């Protein structure tokens, strides 16, 4: 039996638009609920959310059977972090703060078993192989892993052509918040200069054999990015949406008094 098919990888390779959501609650019950809501992909975040390897594993378990594909964001570009989340069951990994092609190559190597890469041979005792129930996991895993790197600095945009040339990178995700801060507009990703840089980057990625991705919290911007050529677009953050909804409910209820 081979490794499970990575339908998200196939979709972004074919440039089929995928709508996603950022998941930061760090709770498997919330992740399971979100997995029933119809998003194509979900970022299970451990850079800015309080996830560790056990809670990441639990969220991956909670998404078993969901049509929403889990994309695990690790805290930093370290090979050992890639190894842990892959063995926990992730197939698609999002790596923040990738500024150079050298960094992208290091992350690509971490995704693959030798001789293509340097991934450690520990799957037989791990969840990813269903504890050795998937007999052909090691032989087939390289075909189903998917690496997305985040370009979220001026340096990354300057090096974008070289990053796009790296074999083993399947998508480049623009990080508007950090990019805007690096460009001198912290907290203002809508600054015209930032949006111009984002648009140029998306178009460049879309013209390559890689897929472009981005996060926004309004649908008008999502439409703009899709029209520019972005393939995988996250349209919100779970905790932000929950907080806004509950604050409105609380305020509306108190208006009854």
Catalytic residues: 48
Count of other CB atoms within 10 angstroms of residue 209 = 11
Task: Report how far residue 200's alpha carbon sits from residue 221's, in angstroms, rounded to the nearest whole number.
Answer: 15
Q: Which of 50, 48, 94 is nearest to 69 (CA)?
A: 94
Which residue in 47, 51, 164, 62 sits closest to 94, CA to CA? 47
Q: Are 46 and 67 in contact (CB under 8 A)?
A: no
Of the candidates 200, 196, 211, the one whose C-alpha atom is nearest the C-alpha of residue 94 is: 211
């Amino acid at each position: 039996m081979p490794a499970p098919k990575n339908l998200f990888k196939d979709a972004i390779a074919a440039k089929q638009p995928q709508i996603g959501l950022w998941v930061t609650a760090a709770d498997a019950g919330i992740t399971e609920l979100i997995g029933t809501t119809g998003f194509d992909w979900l970022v299970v975040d451990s850079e800015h959310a309080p996830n560790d390897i056990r809670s990441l594993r639990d969220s991956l378990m909670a998404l078993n059977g969901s049509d929403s594909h889990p994309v695990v964001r690790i805290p930093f570009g370290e090979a050992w972090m890639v190894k842990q989340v892959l063995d926990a069951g992730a197939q698609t990994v999002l790596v923040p703060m990738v500024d150079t092609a050298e960094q992208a190559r290091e992350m690509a190597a971490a995704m693959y078993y030798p001789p293509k890469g340097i991934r450690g041979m520990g799957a037989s005792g791990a969840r990813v192989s269903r504890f050795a129930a998937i007999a052909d996991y090691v032989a087939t895993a390289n075909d189903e892993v998917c690496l997305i790197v985040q370009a979220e600095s001026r340096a990354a945009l300057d090096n974008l052509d070289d990053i796009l040339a790296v074999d083993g990178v399947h998508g480049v995700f623009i990080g508007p918040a950090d990019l805007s801060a690096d460009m001198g507009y912290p907290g203002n990703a809508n600054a015209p200069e930032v949006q111009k840089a984002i648009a140029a980057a998306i178009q460049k990625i879309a013209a390559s054999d890689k897929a472009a991705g981005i996060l926004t919290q309004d649908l008008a911007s999502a439409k703009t990015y899709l029209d520019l050529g972005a393939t995988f677009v996250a349209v919100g953050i779970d905790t932000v949406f929950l907080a806004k909804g509950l604050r409105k409910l609380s305020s509306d209820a108190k208006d009854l008094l």
